[in-house]
Amino acid sequence: MADTRSMKERYFYFVRGRQLVVLENKTAKDYGNVNNPTYQPPTGGTDTLDGVNDGEVGFTEGLLIEYTAIPDLAEVLSESDNIPIADALNTAIVDYVKGRLVEDVQDFRKKEYYMVKFKERVAKYARMKTGGSRVVQGTGFMR
């Protein structure tokens, strides 16, 4: 009989160091006896994989990973290149660089000033990015 569970009920993940661990919650039918673990590596898929998974089978592009990353500065090769950041954050960048430069000459008071300004500007940007009212929807049991 086909597995009618949703993907959320079947698969789980967690991050272990630099690795993503994907596990499948097997049903009793799959793992046979009670001594086998319920969570096992996902099985199935008949696609012949290539690239780093050459020689293996599975589901081609079966996993979609969304993550936040450090912006890539590989494109910034000269002084005339644009900084890959939202325009609204330009002033924050200036504050950060100024803060780091005065740190080199051990002017820590100025450094703190610039770093506080940097964090304020970034926080303000993050807060303002989403418009509209900020309302929490109440439920029946909230008084």
Partner 1 sequence: MTVKELMELTGETRFNLVKILLRDALTEMQLLTNENVLQYTTDLVNDQKGYDLPSNLIQVRSIKIKNQDTGYYSPINRLIDTDIKEA
**Residues numbered 18-77 forming contacts with partner 1, rule: CB under 8 A:** 18-23, 36-45, 47, 49, 51, 53, 56-73, 76
Site string for partner 1, 70-109 (x = CB under 8 A): xxxx--x-xxxxxx-xxx-xx-xxx-xxx-xx--------
Select from 1, 8, 32, 140 the one that contacts partner 1 (CB under 8 A).
8
Q: Tell me the C-alpha distance between 46 and 59, whole Å.
A: 7
d(CA 56, CA 46): 9
Q: At what angle do helices 90-104 and 108-128 cross, to 10 degrees?
A: 160
User: In this structure, what token pair is assigned to residue 35?
Assistant: 């001594």
- For residue 49, count CB atoms less than 10 angstroms from its CB and return exposed for 0-12, middle for 13-18, buried for 19 or more: middle
Q: Which lies closer to partner 1 via its Cβ, residue 72 or residue 131? A: 72
Question: Least distance from C-beta 142 to partner 1, angstroms?
Answer: 25
**Could you tell me the smallest distance in angstroms from the CB atom of residue 100 to partner 1?**
5
Q: Which two tokens stand for residue 109?
A: 């008071």
Q: Which is nearer to partner 1, 36 or 140 (CB)?
A: 36
Radius of gyration of the chain (CA): 25
Binding-site size, partner 1 (CB under 8 A): 73
Nearer to partner 1, 69 or 136 (CB): 69
